[in-house]
Amino acid sequence: MWPADWRVLHASFVTETAGSTIWRVRLVGAPGTAVAKVLKPAADAADELRGAHYLRWRAGEGAVRLLAEHGLMLLLEDGGVATLATLPDAAAMPVAADVLARLHPPRFAPAPVALQPLHERFGALFRRVTTPHDAAYALAADIAHELLDAPHTPLALHGDLHHDNVVHGARGWLAIDPKGVLGDAAFDAANWFYNPWGQDALHRQAERIAALAQVLAAPLGCTSAHVLRHAVAYGGLSAAWFAEDGDVANERRTLTTLQAVHAACRAGGF
């Protein structure tokens, strides 16, 4: 099953997701373990392969290392099993800011050419507003267009940063599972407002929204307002993905959080 040059000694099944199967593997002559991700030949495999380009570019800075790849199989550094979701929210915020800072340094090598432009990433949201839907979609789409039209320096982005995609191990806190996107750095702050997953009451607290925006804006060198606007736009995109999957319950809960984020943005005079 495994490429011969990976020299896999033993493999233990970890989990199966909609897009991949995950194994923890031991390699001949290597200490510890690595992670093998076997991608399914589905639409989201493109995200994972762009993510591999991103990890190769990061070269272990702030994210797990890409050790090898073979077709739809990726061999990755084992970043650990504890996720940021295991920390209390107040303790998780500065870790999130630190991860952002390490993933968005002032200078780095030129971004990979295979990354997905942010305007393409928002495709599901823009498709959603072509027919009448919840007004929150129109709001999110309008803000997304404004953000995309604003001048900025496109940067290589993780594309899916949230509590479950930041793990702790031998090298500290590292990002995993990038999607490989190119655009405004504040997009990487947006998904934090909708996580940790399942804690809807926390996500909708005005004080928490304002505090998180301030914490995440600092390492990006932008304003809290800019981060919050990206969070509103991202909420519309996330809800649109749920809608395309027929997941009405999560679509509605995401749109409700989007409205709370937008209300906090307006309360701050942004």
Residue 160 bears catalytic tag: yes
Beta-carbon-side half-sphere exposure of residue 72 (alpha carbons within 13 Å): 15
Q: What are phi and psi of 71, to 5 degrees?
A: 60, -120
Which H helix or E strand runs over 237?
helix 224-244
| Contact (Cβ atoms closer than 8 angstroms) between residue 167 and residue 81 | yes
**Which one of the listed residues 160, 177, 184, 188 is annotated catalytic?**
160
Contact 178, 202 (CB under 8 A): no
Question: Residue 171 corresponds to which tokens in the numbers above?
Answer: 């090298």
150's CB contacts (< 8 A; 6+ apart) are 184
Q: How far apart are CA 158 and CA 176, in angstroms?
A: 9
Cβ atoms of 141 and 112 within 8 Å: the answer is no
> Rounded distance, CA 232 to CA 262, Å?
6
- Beta pairing, strands 166-169 & 34-39: unpaired
How many whole angstroms separate alpha carbon 228 and alpha carbon 164? 21
Contact 179, 50 (CB under 8 A): yes
Cβ atoms 197, 166 nearer than 8 A: no
Pairing of strands 73-77, 155-157: unpaired
Report yes or no: 66 and 56 within 8 Å, Cβ to Cβ. yes
Residues assigned a catalytic role = 160
